[in-house]
Amino acid sequence: MGKSTTKLSGDSYLKAGDFLIITANYETNTEKIGVAKGKFTQIWRKTGDKYTIIHDEFSME
């Protein structure tokens, strides 16, 4: 992909107990591929004093 930059928009953060749910739209510009746009959702779980991703889903337009 070479060098890339990513912008997020419409990002939302929801904390429920030991879980953090993040949703956003993204737009990534790369040297070789060009522009990639889409949405993503991540679910993080807190264990002790650290958060770990337990679900990561994305779609591209």
Residue ranges per domain, the chain? 4-60
Query: Residue range 35-48: average pLDDT?
Result: 97
The mean pLDDT of the chain is 95
Predicted TM-score (pTM) of this structure: 0.81
pLDDT at position 1, please?
64
Specify the higher pLDDT residue, 1 or 31: 31
pLDDT at position 4, please?
94
Residue closest to 44 by CA, chosen among 13, 6, 2: 13
Q: Are 10 and 41 in contact (CB under 8 A)?
A: no
CATH assignment of 4-60? Answer: 3.10.450.50
